[in-house]
Structure 1
Amino acid sequence: MIATLFRFVAIAVASAVLTVGPSVNAEDGHKLWLRYAPLDTAARAALASRVTAITAAADTSPTLAAARAELDRGFAGMLGAPLPHDTALHDHGLVIGTPASLPALAALHLPLGRLGHDGYLIRSIRMNGKDETIVAANTDIGVLYGVFALLERIERQQPLADLDIVSAPRIDLRILDHWDNLDGSVERGYAGRSLWDWWTLPDYKDPLYTDYARADASIGINGAVLNNVNASPDILRPRYLAKVAALADVFRPYGIKVYLSVNFASPMVLGDLKTADPLDPAVAAWWKRKADTIYRAIPDFGGFLVKANSEGQPGPQDYHRSHADGANMLAAALAPHGGVVMWRAFVYGAADKDRAKQAFDEFKPLDGAFAANVILQVKNGPIDFQPREPFSPLFGAMHRTPMMLELQITKEYLGQATSLAYLGPLFEEALRADTYARGKGSTVARVIDGSLFGNRLSGIAGVANTGRDRDWAGSTFNQANWFVFGRMAWNPDADAGAVAREWSELTFGPDRRITTPVVDMMMRSREAVVDYMTPLGLAHQMGTGNHYGPAPWVSDLARPEWNPTYYNRADRTGIGFDRTASGSDAVSQYAPPVAHRFDDLATVPDADLLWFHHVPWDYRLHSGETLWHSLADHYQHGVEEVAAMQREWATLAPLIDAQRFAKTAAFLSIEHREAVWWRDASMAYWLHVSGLPLPAGYPAPAHDLGYYEALSFPNAPGQAK
Structure 2
Amino acid sequence: MRSLFFLASLGLVAAENGLDGWLRYAPLPCSHQCQSKLPASIVVLNATETSPVYVAGAEIQNGLNRIYGSHAKISQNQCKTSSSAVVVGTVEQYRKACGSSNDIPELEEDGFWLNTEGQKIRILGSTERGALYGAFEYLSMLAQGNFSAVSYATNPSAPIRWVNQWDNMDGRIERGYGGPSIFFRNGAIVDDLTRVKQYARLLASIRINAVVVNNVNANATLLTPENLKGLGRIADVFRPYGIKVGISLNFASPKDLGGLNTFDPLDPSVVSWWSNITQQLYQNVPDMAGYLVKANSEGQPGPQEYNRTLAEGANLFAKALQPYGGIVMFRAFVYNQLNESNWKEDRANAAVDFFKELDGEFDENVVVQIKYGPIDFQVREPASPLFANLFNTSTAIELQVTQEYLGQQSHLVYLPPLWKTILDSDLRIDGKHSLVRDVYTGKHFKRKLGGSAAVVNVGTNTTWLGSHLSMSNLYAYGRLAWNPADDAQDMLQDWIRLTFGLDRQVLNTITKMSMQSWPAYEGYSGNLGIQTLTDILYTHYGPNPASQDNNGWGQWTRADHTGIGMDRTVKNGTGFSGQYPAEVAALYENIDTTPEDLLLWFHHVDYTHRLHSGKTVIQHFYDAHYTGAATAQTFPTQWQSLKGKIDDERFNHVLRRLDYQAGHSIIWRDAINTFYYNLSGIPDTAKRVDHHPWRIEAESMKLDGYKTYTVSPFEVSSGSVAIVTASNSTVGSATTRINFASGTYDLAVNYYDFYGGQSQWQVYLNDKKIGEWVGNSEDVYSHTPSIYLDGHSAIRVTFRGVKVKKGDMLKIVGKPDGVEPAPLDYVSFLPDGVVD
Same fold (TM over 0.5): yes
Partner of 2:44: 56
Deviates more, 1:147-156 or 1:511-520: 511-520
Alignment CA distance shift 1:287-1:545 (3 Å): same
1:264 is the counterpart of 2:251: yes
Alignment CA distance shift 1:529-1:540 (3 Å): closer
Alignment of 1:441-460 (within 5 A): 441-460=433-452
Of 285, 306, 312, 2:272 maps to 285
Of 136, 143, 153, 2:141 maps to 153
What do the CA deviations read for 1:572-604 (whole angstroms, capped 9, x no partner)?
A: 221111111211111001111111111211111
Write the distance in 1 (CA, Å) between the matches of 2:45 and 2:242: 19
Of 308, 316, 320, 2:303 maps to 316
Higher RCO, 1 or 2 (CA under 8 Å, sep at least 6)? 1
Partner of 2:61: 72
1:583 is the counterpart of 2:588: no
1:21 is the counterpart of 2:11: yes
Partner of 1:634: 624
Residue 672 of structure 2 contacts residue 715 of structure 2 at CA under 8 Å; is this kept in 1? no
5+ residue gaps, structure 1, are 1-9
Write the distance in 2 (CA, Å) between the matches of 1:548 and 1:125: 51
Partner of 1:344: 331
Write the distance in 2 (CA, Å) between the matches of 1:283 and 1:201: 25
Of 537, 549, 554, 2:529 maps to 537
Write the distance in 2 (CA, Å) between the matches of 1:440 and 1:501: 34
SS at match of 1:580: coil
Write the distance in 2 (CA, Å) between the matches of 1:200 and 1:574: 49
Write the distance in 2 (CA, Å) between the matches of 1:719 and 1:447: 39
Task: Report the Cα offset of residue 48 of structure 1.
Answer: 2.8
Residue 694 of structure 1 contacts residue 700 of structure 1 at CA under 8 Å; is this kept in 2? no
Partner of 1:437: 429
Alignment CA distance shift 1:524-1:47 (3 Å): farther
Of 398, 414, 418, 1:422 maps to 414
Partner of 2:767: none
What do the CA deviations read for 1:515-563 (whole angstroms, capped 9, x no partner)?
A: 1121121111111111110111111421122112111123786x4326x
1:550 is the counterpart of 2:555: no
Partner of 1:245: 232
Write the distance in 2 (CA, Å) between the matches of 1:344 and 1:370: 13
Task: Report the Cα offset of residue 56 of structure 1.
Answer: 2.5
Write the distance in 2 (CA, Å) between the matches of 1:311 and 1:57: 50
Alignment CA distance shift 1:32-1:707 (3 Å): same
Alignment CA distance shift 1:367-1:555 (3 Å): closer
SS at match of 1:485: helix
Task: Report the Cα offset of residue 11 of structure 1.
Answer: 3.9
Write the distance in 1 (CA, Å) between the matches of 2:208 and 2:192: 21
Alignment of 1:88-167 (within 5 A): 89-103=81-95, 106-110=98-102, 112=104, 114-126=106-118, 131-161=119-149, 163-167=150-154
SS at match of 1:553: helix
Write the distance in 2 (CA, Å) between the matches of 1:556 and 1:99: 58
Write the distance in 1 (CA, Å) between the matches of 2:46 and 2:368: 43
Write the distance in 2 (CA, Å) between the matches of 1:719 and 1:325: 40
Q: TM-score, normalised by structure 2?
A: 0.80
Write the distance in 2 (CA, Å) between the matches of 1:607 and 1:686: 18
Partner of 1:708: 716
Write the distance in 2 (CA, Å) between the matches of 1:719 and 1:175: 29
Partner of 1:5: none
Residue 71 of structure 1 contacts residue 82 of structure 1 at CA under 8 Å; is this kept in 2? no
Task: Report the Cα offset of residue 90 of structure 1.
Answer: 4.0
Partner of 1:7: none
Deviates more, 1:116-125 or 1:216-225: 116-125
Task: Report the Cα offset of residue 330 of structure 1.
Answer: 1.1
Partner of 2:732: none
Write the distance in 1 (CA, Å) between the matches of 2:128 and 2:585: 47
Code of the residue aligned with 2:15 in structure 1: it is: A
Alignment CA distance shift 1:272-1:465 (3 Å): closer
Write the distance in 2 (CA, Å) between the matches of 1:518 and 1:99: 39
1:464 is the counterpart of 2:452: no
1:505 is the counterpart of 2:497: yes
Code of the residue aligned with 2:317 in structure 1: it is: L
Residue 545 of structure 1 contacts residue 719 of structure 1 at CA under 8 Å; is this kept in 2? no
Partner of 1:412: 404
Write the distance in 2 (CA, Å) between the matches of 1:612 and 1:202: 46
Alignment CA distance shift 1:249-1:201 (3 Å): farther
SS at match of 1:152: helix
Write the distance in 2 (CA, Å) between the matches of 1:266 and 1:200: 16
Task: Report the Cα offset of residue 386 of structure 1.
Answer: 0.5
Partner of 1:692: 682
Code of the residue aligned with 2:176 in structure 1: it is: G
Write the distance in 1 (CA, Å) between the matches of 2:213 and 2:589: 41
Q: Which has the larger radius of gyration?
A: 2
Code of the residue aligned with 1:96 in structure 2: it is: V
Alignment CA distance shift 1:491-1:212 (3 Å): same
Alignment of 1:332-371 (within 5 A): 332-352=319-339, 353-371=345-363
Partner of 1:329: 316
Write the distance in 2 (CA, Å) between the matches of 1:453 and 1:398: 9
Partner of 1:84: 73
Code of the residue aligned with 1:26 in structure 2: it is: A
Alignment CA distance shift 1:510-1:276 (3 Å): same
Residue 549 of structure 2 contacts residue 556 of structure 2 at CA under 8 Å; is this kept in 1? no
User: Aligned residue pairs: how many?
Assistant: 699
Alignment CA distance shift 1:714-1:278 (3 Å): farther
5+ residue gaps, structure 2, are 340-344, 698-710, 721-751, 757-777, 787-836
Code of the residue aligned with 1:354 in structure 2: it is: D
Residue 105 of structure 2 contacts residue 113 of structure 2 at CA under 8 Å; is this kept in 1? no
Partner of 2:169: 182
Write the distance in 2 (CA, Å) between the matches of 1:693 and 1:242: 64
Partner of 1:6: none
Bigger proportion of residues as strand:
2
Residue 670 of structure 2 contacts residue 715 of structure 2 at CA under 8 Å; is this kept in 1? no
Partner of 2:585: 595
Bigger proportion of residues as helix:
1
Residue 170 of structure 2 contacts residue 184 of structure 2 at CA under 8 Å; is this kept in 1? no
Partner of 1:224: 211
SS at match of 1:442: coil
Partner of 1:483: 475
SS at match of 1:165: strand
Task: Report the Cα offset of residue 179 of structure 1.
Answer: 0.2
Code of the residue aligned with 1:100 in structure 2: it is: E
Write the distance in 2 (CA, Å) between the matches of 1:719 and 1:366: 41
Residue 169 of structure 2 contacts residue 188 of structure 2 at CA under 8 Å; is this kept in 1? no
Task: Report the Cα offset of residue 706 of structure 1.
Answer: 2.2
What do the CA deviations read for 1:596-626 (whole angstroms, capped 9, x no partner)?
A: 1112111111110111111111111122221
Residue 381 of structure 2 contacts residue 598 of structure 2 at CA under 8 Å; is this kept in 1? yes
Write the distance in 1 (CA, Å) between the matches of 2:321 and 2:46: 37
Task: Report the Cα offset of residue 143 of structure 1.
Answer: 1.0
1:671 is the counterpart of 2:661: yes
What do the CA deviations read for 1:466-518 (whole angstroms, capped 9, x no partner)?
A: 11001111111111111000000010111111100100110111221211121
What do the CA deviations read for 1:214-243 (whole angstroms, capped 9, x no partner)?
A: 100000001000100000011111111111
Percentage identity across paired residues of the two chains: 38
What do the CA deviations read for 1:412-459 (whole angstroms, capped 9, x no partner)?
A: 000002111011111211211111114343111101110100111112
Alignment CA distance shift 1:112-1:307 (3 Å): farther
Write the distance in 2 (CA, Å) between the matches of 1:372 and 1:707: 51
Task: Report the Cα offset of residue 58 of structure 1.
Answer: 6.4
Partner of 1:299: 286
Alignment of 1:379-390 (within 5 A): 379-390=371-382
Alignment CA distance shift 1:29-1:45 (3 Å): farther
Write the distance in 2 (CA, Å) between the matches of 1:306 and 1:714: 33
Q: Considering only aligned residues, what root-mean-square deviation do their CA atoms show, in Å?
A: 2.2
Alignment CA distance shift 1:449-1:105 (3 Å): farther
